[in-house]
């Protein structure tokens, strides 16, 4: 029997990665194409949907060519997509707006008002999407007040993933997973929430057709199939969002197995068998399949904080890395490893981009606390690494309240390439950290879901047979106890400064000091 190959296409925020996998989970080829984020005004974040589509096509073509897979051997292609994007299109299915992405903060005033009203919390409990500027719900409220003409002219409001399927198949469909991250989708009913739609002033007819994440499309337009290098009748599985597929891709598909992803941003997630929200509104709940729901929280501040430190303060490390042909982050993290646990009393609150879970406070700002004359640059690097881990640990505590303690962490993202940072993670959490051989969790998750949807994988739990664990890191429990005490200071520092964060943002907003 000839082997089949499965392709995961991960349409992310800054790039699309298309990855070819064998039916046993081995990576055979990869294509990676990037695209920019534009910032037309302070606080805005947009992308060109046509550029994303074009680069996605090229990424798929590159992966298939590299893997040297014949058309007849491709079993299915699954899609992963970034959450929370919003595009208004007209009656001719042409974009009226760019893709307004999750990082866009134009709806901050609408979000504040909705959070202050009881209806905001009720919407969260029904939809599982925290009230935040990231969500299409608050973007539509902004449009209602600031771009009324576009709101009225738009025939449909769609995500970037829907735009891709519209181009490929002339179908306007949205999977339950992407829909569940809009703030417009009722988790229990698996339908658009009528009360929320009334609030934003649109009907369900102006949103995409809802389909399960395992929904299969065939009959891709000939021109695109030829460019990609596939048969037009190749099964295309609609797939899910990148966050929930990252859990599937690293094998964390039970409440006792949490997935931690730290790349530019960060996230902590677990899988539960039915929709679950948090009375305190700290976590999200997004669909994977009808029997698998992902709960957790995202952090704004992952590797982006380390990059800021590199660019602004670590030119010596950058120069050293250049001379030795090393990654600057490798040099920085190695320096941090020479500093004792706790950075000799230096604590970092890494909220350089505000913060999402568990605080959901766009006004939060960064703090270095405990600075002394004995602190060197290496201490600040260590404090940033620990601060990022404290940030994701605080999300884990919210999850722990809902589903109990985890047994292990499954790591993915850029931080999973650093032995030092992974051991620090085990020490902070007090759990074993497992690192899968395949780092690209969302892409692999999309391929696995495609296997399942087309009958090549009986149940999602069988993913464990495809995942090879490269490394395991055991916690040093004496270190864990010390980190617990430091985290108490970290958490208290945040809570003690909430009002000052708000005042500082009024006094000196991010676009420039008002004095």
DSSP per position, 18-74: EEEEETTS-EEEEEEEE---B-SSTT--EE-HHHHHHHHHHHHHHHHHHHT--GGGE
Q: In which residue are the tokens 């050293």 written? A: 320
- Confidence at 440, pLDDT banded by 50, 70, 90: confident
First-last CA distance in the chain = 73
| 179 belongs to a structural domain | yes
CB 239 within 8 A of CB 449: yes
Q: Closest by alpha carbon to 418, among 403, 393, 435, 396?
A: 435
CB 29 within 8 A of CB 59: no
| 377 belongs to a structural domain | no
| 54 belongs to a structural domain | yes
The rounded distance, in Å, linking the Cα atoms of 33 and 203 is 36
> How many Cα atoms sit within 13 Å of 451 on the Cβ side?
29
- Beta strand residue intervals within 318-468, DSSP E: 347-349, 367-369, 408-412, 432-436
The rounded distance, in Å, linking the Cα atoms of 441 and 464 is 13
pLDDT for position 412: 87
Domain count, the chain: 1
The rounded distance, in Å, linking the Cα atoms of 447 and 74 is 11
The rounded distance, in Å, linking the Cα atoms of 35 and 12 is 10
pLDDT for position 510: 66
Average pLDDT, the chain: 95
pLDDT in tens, 19-74: 999 999 999 999 999 999 999 998 899 999 999 999 999 999 999 999 999 999 99
pLDDT for position 377: 97
Neighbours of 344 (CB within 10 A): 16
> Could you list the residue range(s) of the whole structural domain that residue 139 is in?
5-243
Q: Is pLDDT above 60 for 278?
A: yes
- Helix (H) or strand (E) holding 109, with range, is helix 108-116
| 324 belongs to a structural domain | no
| 358 belongs to a structural domain | no
| Residue 152 CB-density burial (10 A; 0-12 exposed, 13-18 middle, 19+ buried) | exposed
How many residues does the structure list for the chain?
Answer: 515
Q: Is pLDDT above 50 for 513?
A: no
- What is the three-class DSSP state of 395? helix
pLDDT in tens, 461-472: 999 999 999 899
- Helix (H) or strand (E) holding 108, with range, is helix 108-116
Residues near 509 by Cβ (< 8 Å), separated by ≥ 6? none
pLDDT in tens, 133-163: 999 999 999 999 999 999 999 999 999 999 9
The CB-based long-range contact list for 143-149 (8 Å cut-off, 24+ gap) reads 143/88, 144/200, 144/201, 145/110, 146/106
pLDDT for position 453: 98
pLDDT in tens, 383-403: 999 999 999 999 999 999 999
pLDDT in tens, 337-366: 999 999 999 999 999 988 999 999 988 999
| 288 belongs to a structural domain | no
- Confidence at 93, pLDDT banded by 50, 70, 90: very high
What residue spans of 208-285 are helical by DSSP H?
222-228, 242-250
- Confidence at 414, pLDDT banded by 50, 70, 90: confident
Q: In which residue are the tokens 């198949």 written? A: 169
Q: What CATH number does residue 117 fall under?
A: 3.30.420.40
**Lowest-confidence range among 13-17, 131-135, 508-512?**
508-512
> What pairing do the DSSP bridges indicate for beta strands 27-34 and 432-436?
unpaired
Q: Is pLDDT above 70 for 514?
A: no
**Lowest-confidence range among 171-180, 382-391, 413-422?**
413-422
pLDDT for position 103: 87
The rounded distance, in Å, linking the Cα atoms of 138 and 324 is 48
pLDDT for position 494: 98
CB 290 within 8 A of CB 271: no
| 421 belongs to a structural domain | no
Q: What are phi and psi of 374, to 5 degrees?
A: -80, -10
Alpha-carbon dihedral sign for residues 119, 121, 126, 131? positive
| 191 belongs to a structural domain | yes
- Confidence at 83, pLDDT banded by 50, 70, 90: very high
% the chain with pLDDT above 70: 98
CB 162 within 8 A of CB 172: yes
- Beta strand residue intervals within 84-144, DSSP E: 87-89, 99-100
- Whole-prediction pTM value? 0.92
- Confidence at 515, pLDDT banded by 50, 70, 90: very low
- Beta strand residue intervals within 69-192, DSSP E: 74-81, 87-89, 99-100, 156-158, 173-175, 185-186, 191-192
Beta partners for 436?
A: 469
């Amino acid at each position: 029997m000839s082997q089949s190959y499965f392709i995961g296409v991960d349409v992310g925020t800054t790039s699309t990665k298309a990855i070819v996998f064998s039916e046993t989970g081995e990576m055979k080829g990869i294509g990676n194409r990037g695209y920019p984020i534009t910032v037309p005004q302070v606080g805005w974040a947009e992308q060109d949907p046509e550029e994303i589509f074009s680069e996605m096509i090229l990424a798929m073509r590159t992966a298939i060519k590299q893997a040297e897979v014949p058309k007849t051997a491709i079993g299915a292609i699954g899609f992963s997509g970034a959450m929370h994007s919003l595009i208004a299109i007209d009656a001719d299915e042409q974009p009226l707006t760019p893709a307004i992405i999750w990082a866009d903060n134009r709806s901050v005033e609408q979000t504040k008002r909705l959070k202050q009203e009881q209806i905001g919390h009720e919407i969260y409990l029904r939809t599982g999407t925290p009230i935040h500027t990231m969500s299409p719900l608050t973007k539509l409220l902004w449009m209602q007040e600031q771009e009324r003409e576009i709101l009225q002219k738009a025939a449909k409001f769609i995500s970037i993933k829907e735009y891709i399927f519209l181009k490929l198949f002339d179908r306007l469909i949205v999977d339950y997973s992407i829909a569940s991250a809009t703030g417009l989708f009722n988790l229990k009913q698996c339908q658009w929430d009528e009360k929320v739609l009334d609030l934003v002033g649109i009907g369900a007819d102006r949103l995409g057709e809802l389909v399960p994440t395992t929904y299969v499309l065939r009959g891709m337009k000939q021109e695109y199939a030829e460019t990609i290098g596939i048969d037009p009748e190749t099964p295309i599985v609609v797939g899910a969002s990148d966050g929930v597929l990252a859990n599937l891709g690293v094998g964390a598909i039970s409440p006792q197995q949490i997935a931690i992803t730290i790349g530019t941003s960060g996230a902590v997630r677990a899988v539960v068998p039915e929709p679950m929200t948090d009375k305190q509104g700290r976590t999200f709940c997004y669909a994977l399949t009808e029997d698998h729901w992902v709960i957790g929280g995202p952090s704004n501040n992952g590797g982006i904080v380390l990059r800021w430190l590199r660019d602004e303060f670590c030119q010596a490390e950058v120069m050293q890395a250049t001379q030795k042909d090393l990654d600057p982050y490798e040099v920085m993290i190695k320096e941090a490893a020479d500093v004792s646990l706790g950075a000799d009393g230096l604590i970092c609150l890494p909220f350089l981009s505000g913060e999402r879970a568990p605080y959901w406070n766009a006004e939060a700002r960064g703090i270095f606390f405990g600075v002394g004359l004995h602190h060197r640059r290496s201490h600040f690097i260590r404090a940033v690494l620990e601060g990022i881990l404290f940030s994701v640990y605080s999300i884990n505590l919210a999850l722990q309240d809902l589903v109990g303690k985890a047994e292990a962490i499954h790591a993915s993202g850029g931080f999973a390439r650093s032995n030092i940072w992974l051991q620090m993670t085990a020490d902070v959490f007090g759990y074993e950290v497992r690192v899968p051989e395949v780092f690209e969790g969302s892409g692999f998750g999309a391929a696995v879901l495609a296997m399942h949807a087309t009958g090549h994988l009986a149940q999602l739990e069988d993913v464990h047979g495809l995942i090879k664990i490269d490394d395991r890191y055991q916690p040093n429990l004496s270190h864990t106890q010390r980190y617990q005490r430091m985290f108490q200071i970290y958490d208290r520092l945040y809570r003690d400064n909430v009002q000052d964060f708000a005042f500082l943002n009024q006094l000196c907003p991010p676009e420039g000091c008002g004095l």
